[in-house]
Structure 1
Amino acid sequence: MMLHDRVQLIATTCGVVFAVVLSTQQLGILYGLFHKNTMLIDNGGADIWMMPRGTQLVQRGSVLPESALTQARATPGVLVAEPLVFGPGSIARPEGGTEQVILVGTALPNALGGPWNIVAGQASALYEPDTLTFEVAQRDKLGNLNLGSVREVNGRRVRVGAFTWGLVPFGPAYSFAEIGLARDLTSTATGRFHFVLVRVLPDADPDEVVAELQARVPEVQVWTSQQYHDTVVSALLAQQLGITFGSSAALGLFVGLVIVALSMFSSVVDHQRELGTLKAIGCRTRDLAVMLFAQAVMYGLIGSVVGLAVAAQLTAFMRSPNLAVMLPIGVMVSVPFVMTAICLVSATLALNRIRKLEPGMVFR
């Protein structure tokens, strides 16, 4: 039935493609938001993060005492421990108004916490006085910003030393500075910081180092980078983000279920005399069910392949410094299985119709 009715084949396949594209794009945007909000953790070069208790996202909290850094550096298994300053910045635009950034103060030369993804200039420019990195997506907003341009940040004139690409979390872009400059810009007292980033020795177990650090500095929260990453993702899912994008992805799958179910049911209705003939000459319901499910599998596989190809092209087209649409390999691999399962479920409606077919109807 499938190959002999080209119109229905195309219509049903398009329905599956639509479901695949809609659901994968919603999941891609959700994964992109996860990436945006965990990029500092994933790319900061640290194995362990120390932060104020109660921290769930990558954001400015209360400052940590200097003893947290001292204890971290004295803990067995620690290769290096560096402070990180985190705070808001307001850039004065030449034509008036301001643009917000998140200032990240990193300790050189280890530069745990960034910067990365530098597309112009060098990270070493941060050694120079009053020098920051800026996000390339902000160039036009800040009056055609270029390397060496001077702007006022939190009332202090600073110079552009490098540009990064895509370092825009769920909010203002990251702007990196040497930690001393960042302290001045964010009014953070000398010897105070918002995070401690730890890199362990090659033969050290990060979980064991975390336990030791937690025992030495019980007033702060100590997590491995993976634990911190997972905490941020869980916190985002608990908000409206997970509900919104999850429901949109589920809607796409439901649309695919309905389209395939209606298409296969109408196909059975349109060809019930032929199916009745097959029953009359000895075909069992089981044989017809195998044929029906084989069609469902073909719809699922063809629609998935085409849908993933379209989704990949849309993802590349939508990619920008401000918007990340990510399709992890796990999602790409699971889509054909999920859509095939949905098509098989859809086929059960048509199967019920086949069961009710009487061979004698052919002779009426």
Structure 2
Amino acid sequence: MFGSLPLGILQLWHRKFRLLTATLGIAFAVILVFMQMELKEALYASAVRYHEALGYDLIMLSPKTPHIVAARGFPRNRLYQAQGIKGVSSVSPIYLGQAIWRHPSEPLNRRSIFVLGFDPDDRGFEKLLSPTVLQRLRLPYQVSYDRLARPEFGPIGQMIDEGMTVRNQVNDSEFTVAGLHAIGSGFAIEGSIFTSDLNFQRMFPERSASVIEFGLIHLDPGAAVEGVRREILDALPKDIRVLTRKEFAQLEIDHWSKATPTGVVFGFGVVMGLFVGAIIVYQILYSDVQDHLQEYATLLAMGYPHRYLKVIVLQEALVLAILGFLPGLVLSVELFRLTAESAHLPLEMSLNNALTVFALTLGMCVFSGLLTLRRLRSVDPAEVF
């Protein structure tokens, strides 16, 4: 088999333009598959940024909450009732909302921004905000701005880094940017601001302080997470849910993968990429077989079996898979970098995805080669000559 490999390579090399066309076509299919797979992973990764950035052991939420942006409210006293359960160290109520953010230099440019309100004295925000920023948030009309937010909100991070004082209108009030945090944007959240619970009420005066969207639950060292959760659920009414960190993140992922067409769209893109690549490879291999019918017939007349001819075609499919995958891989890495910079999405090439796409590319080319073999079965030296 390996001794016959050069023959398949020479046949492909004999038609250099056709080989180039096949390589570019397969590379395009590889890029399409890579982009669909990585965009899907970026969607999930960006969707759980807040779930992973906050500090907590358990989280309390409404049973009607489908995902973080559409969080439903529940009574705040439920969270304080949970504080009396054995093993619970402290709790932190969180208010969520969508506010109208005015661009600092373009007053007519207004965008919706995600707002998270909390008590700066509570636990759970140490990884996101420095002690200095937490102290400033205690003052009236102060917010922390996400430096990784979409640029359409304005160059807030740059202005703060340059030592400028940034005051900006949020809803109907003017707030001062007291500092920065870094989480990043996603498909549902383009940017965010953090503020104190009192400032949140100033931003949303119509909201009741007794209704919260999330409650962070911090446990005593050594407390059994699952055991404490069961005790909370048994002790409180059924108008709340209590989830672990992993379950909370999975809730968000399940929403995007099952409750929206996003997962189906990305999966369909992968299938289409493989379908396009398979057609290209089939056309190239079929044309190659058609052009070399006399040579194949000669080999059969010399006593070579059909299996020998099939090996040549499958070797050509393997060579096309490698030649198309390598440039597709390189171009995909560059596209990930450009997309990540412009869209602020966590796009990066992983070894697991690279191996998966190579396996899909190889399977695509081999499948096309198997379809082409049907033409070889009809090769008869007597008919060809």
Same fold by TM-score greater than 0.5 = yes
SS of 2:341 mapped into structure 1 = coil
Are 2:33 and 1:23 equivalent residues in the alignment? yes
Q: CA 1:241–1:116 in structure 2 vs 1: closer, same or farther (change >3 Å)?
A: same
Alignment of 1:67-82 (within 5 A): 67-82=77-92
Which of these residues, 229, 232, 246, is aligned with residue 210 of structure 1?
Answer: 229
The corresponding residue for 2:118 is: 106
Contact 1:46 1:113 in 2 (8 A): no
Q: Distance in 2 between matches of 1:350 and 1:340?
A: 15
Q: Distance in 2 between matches of 1:26 and 1:293?
A: 28
Could you list the per-position Cα deviations for residues 109-130 of structure 1 after superposition, in whole angstroms to 9, with x for gaps in the alignment? Answer: 5552687499xx9565434442
The corresponding residue for 2:200 is: 182
Contact 2:145 2:180 in 1 (8 A): yes
State the AA in 1 paired with 2:107.
Answer: G
Quote how far apart the aligned CAs of 1:360 are.
3.6
The corresponding residue for 1:220 is: 240
Q: Distance in 1 between matches of 2:382 and 2:220?
A: 80
Which of these residues, 250, 267, 282, is aligned with residue 303 of structure 2?
Answer: 282
Q: Which moved more, 1:7-16 or 1:181-190?
A: 181-190
Alignment of 1:295-310 (within 5 A): 295-310=316-331
Are 2:352 and 1:340 equivalent residues in the alignment? no
SS of 1:59 mapped into structure 2 = helix
Are 2:168 and 1:151 equivalent residues in the alignment? yes
Which of these residues, 43, 50, 54, is aligned with residue 44 of structure 1?
Answer: 54
Are 2:153 and 1:132 equivalent residues in the alignment? no
State the AA in 1 paired with 2:32.
Answer: L
Quote how far apart the aligned CAs of 1:251 are.
1.3
Contact 2:50 2:183 in 1 (8 A): no
Q: Which moved more, 1:85-94 or 1:196-205?
A: 196-205
Q: Distance in 2 between matches of 1:301 and 1:207?
A: 49
Contact 2:51 2:248 in 1 (8 A): yes
Contact 2:9 2:319 in 1 (8 A): no
Quote how far apart the aligned CAs of 1:195 are.
0.3
Contact 1:167 1:321 in 2 (8 A): no
Quote how far apart the aligned CAs of 1:227 are.
1.9
Quote how far apart the aligned CAs of 1:93 are.
4.4
Which of these residues, 90, 95, 100, is aligned with residue 100 of structure 2?
Answer: 90
Contact 2:146 2:192 in 1 (8 A): yes
Which of these residues, 347, 351, 355, is aligned with residue 377 of structure 2?
Answer: 355
Identity %: 21
Could you list the per-position Cα deviations for residues 311-361 of structure 1 after superposition, in whole angstroms to 9, with x for gaps in the alignment? Answer: 110110121374415256332221111111111111112111112212445
Which of these residues, 9, 12, 17, is aligned with residue 2 of structure 1?
Answer: 9
Which of these residues, 340, 353, 357, is aligned with residue 331 of structure 1?
Answer: 353
Q: Distance in 1 between matches of 2:303 and 2:223?
A: 70
State the AA in 2 paired with 1:37.
Answer: A
Q: CA 1:75–1:2 in structure 2 vs 1: closer, same or farther (change >3 Å)?
A: farther
Structure 2, unpaired ranges of 5+: 1-7
Q: Distance in 1 between matches of 2:312 and 2:88?
A: 63
Contact 1:106 1:114 in 2 (8 A): no
Q: Distance in 2 between matches of 1:202 and 1:305?
A: 50
Contact 1:91 1:154 in 2 (8 A): yes
Q: CA 1:93–1:338 in structure 2 vs 1: closer, same or farther (change >3 Å)?
A: closer
Contact 1:296 1:344 in 2 (8 A): yes
Q: How many residues align?
A: 361
SS of 1:198 mapped into structure 2 = strand
The alignment's C-alpha RMSD in Å is 2.9
SS of 1:230 mapped into structure 2 = helix
SS of 2:289 mapped into structure 1 = helix
Quote how far apart the aligned CAs of 1:17 are.
0.7
Q: Distance in 2 between matches of 1:334 and 1:11?
A: 24
Quote how far apart the aligned CAs of 1:297 are.
2.3
The corresponding residue for 2:74 is: 64
Q: Distance in 2 between matches of 1:230 and 1:192?
A: 24
Q: Distance in 2 between matches of 1:101 and 1:215?
A: 37
Which of these residues, 273, 278, 286, is aligned with residue 252 of structure 1?
Answer: 273
Quote how far apart the aligned CAs of 1:60 are.
4.8
Q: CA 1:62–1:350 in structure 2 vs 1: closer, same or farther (change >3 Å)?
A: closer
Are 2:42 and 1:32 equivalent residues in the alignment? yes
Q: Distance in 1 between matches of 2:80 and 2:141?
A: 27
Q: Which moved more, 1:55-64 or 1:204-213?
A: 204-213
Quote how far apart the aligned CAs of 1:151 are.
1.7
Q: Distance in 2 between matches of 1:175 and 1:122?
A: 12
Q: Distance in 2 between matches of 1:230 and 1:143?
A: 33
The corresponding residue for 2:215 is: 196
Q: Which moved more, 1:84-93 or 1:145-154?
A: 145-154
State the AA in 2 paired with 1:178.
Answer: S
Q: Distance in 1 between matches of 2:303 and 2:325?
A: 35
Contact 1:25 1:325 in 2 (8 A): no
Quote how far apart the aligned CAs of 1:256 are.
0.6
